[in-house]
A = this chain, B = another copy of it.
Amino acid sequence: MRDARLEQPDEADPAPQSGEDLAVRFAHVRAATERLCAPLSPEDASAQSMADASPAKWHLAHTSWFFETFLLEQHEPGFAPFHPAFRVLFNSYYKGVGDQYSRPQRGLLTRPSLAEVLAYRRSVDERMQRWLAKTPPQPLAELVVLGLHHEQQHQELLLTDVKHLFGCNPLLPAYRECRESAAAEVAALGFASFPAGTQRIGHAGGGFAFDNELPRHRVFLESFELATRLVTNAEYLAFMQDGGYARPELWLADGWATAERERWRAPLYWQACDDRWQVLTLGGVRALRPDEPVCHVSFYEADAFARWNGARLPTEAEWELAAGSAPCTGNFVDDDLLHPAPAPRIGADAPAQLFGDAWEWTASAYLPYPGYQPAAGAVGEYNGKFMSNQMVLRGGSCASPRDHLRASYRNFFYPQTRWQFSGIRLARG
- The interface of chain A, by Cβ under 8 A from chain B, is 41-47, 49, 57, 85, 88-89, 93, 95-96, 101, 105, 107-114, 165-166, 168-171, 173, 196, 198, 217-222, 224, 248-249, 251-256, 299-300, 303, 312, 363-365, 367-368, 370-371, 381, 385-389, 415, 429
Chain B minimum-CB-distance residue to A315 = B370
A252 touches B165 (CB 8 A): no
A95 touches B222 (CB 8 A): no
What is the CA–CA distance of A217 and B223 in the complex, to the nearest angstrom?
A: 11
Residues of B within 8 A of A218 (CB): 196, 220, 222
Chain B minimum-CB-distance residue to A115 = B41
B41 touches A222 (CB 8 A): no
Q: Smallest distance from the beta carbon of A254 to chain B beta carbons, Å?
A: 5
A41 touches B110 (CB 8 A): yes
- 19 A–B pairs (Cβ distance < 8 Å), ordered by A: A41-B42, A43-B43, A46-B47, A47-B110, A49-B108, A88-B170, A95-B248, A109-B169, A110-B169, A111-B171, A218-B220, A221-B370, A222-B370, A249-B381, A252-B385, A254-B388, A300-B388, A303-B388, A365-B367
Chain B minimum-CB-distance residue to A253 = B385
Closest 8 CB pairs of A and B: A365-B365, A43-B110, A220-B220, A43-B46, A95-B248, A44-B110, A253-B385, A222-B370
B248 touches A220 (CB 8 A): no
What is the CA–CA distance of A220 and B317 in the complex, to the nearest angstrom?
A: 12
A111 touches B385 (CB 8 A): no
What is the CA–CA distance of A299 and B387 in the complex, to the nearest angstrom?
A: 12
A222 touches B113 (CB 8 A): no
What is the CA–CA distance of A171 and B57 in the complex, to the nearest angstrom?
A: 16
Residues of B within 8 A of A381 (CB): 249
B111 touches A44 (CB 8 A): yes
Given contacts A41-B42, A41-B113, A222-B370, 13 further A-B contacts (CB under 8 A): A42-B43, A43-B114, A46-B47, A93-B253, A95-B248, A95-B256, A109-B169, A110-B165, A110-B169, A111-B171, A196-B218, A252-B385, A303-B388
Q: Smallest distance from the beta carbon of A255 to chain B beta carbons, Å?
A: 7
What is the CA–CA distance of A198 and B199 in the complex, to the nearest angstrom?
A: 11
Residues of B within 8 A of A43 (CB): 42-43, 45-46, 57, 110-111, 113-114
B219 touches A371 (CB 8 A): no
A170 touches B101 (CB 8 A): yes
A168 touches B41 (CB 8 A): no
B95 touches A389 (CB 8 A): no
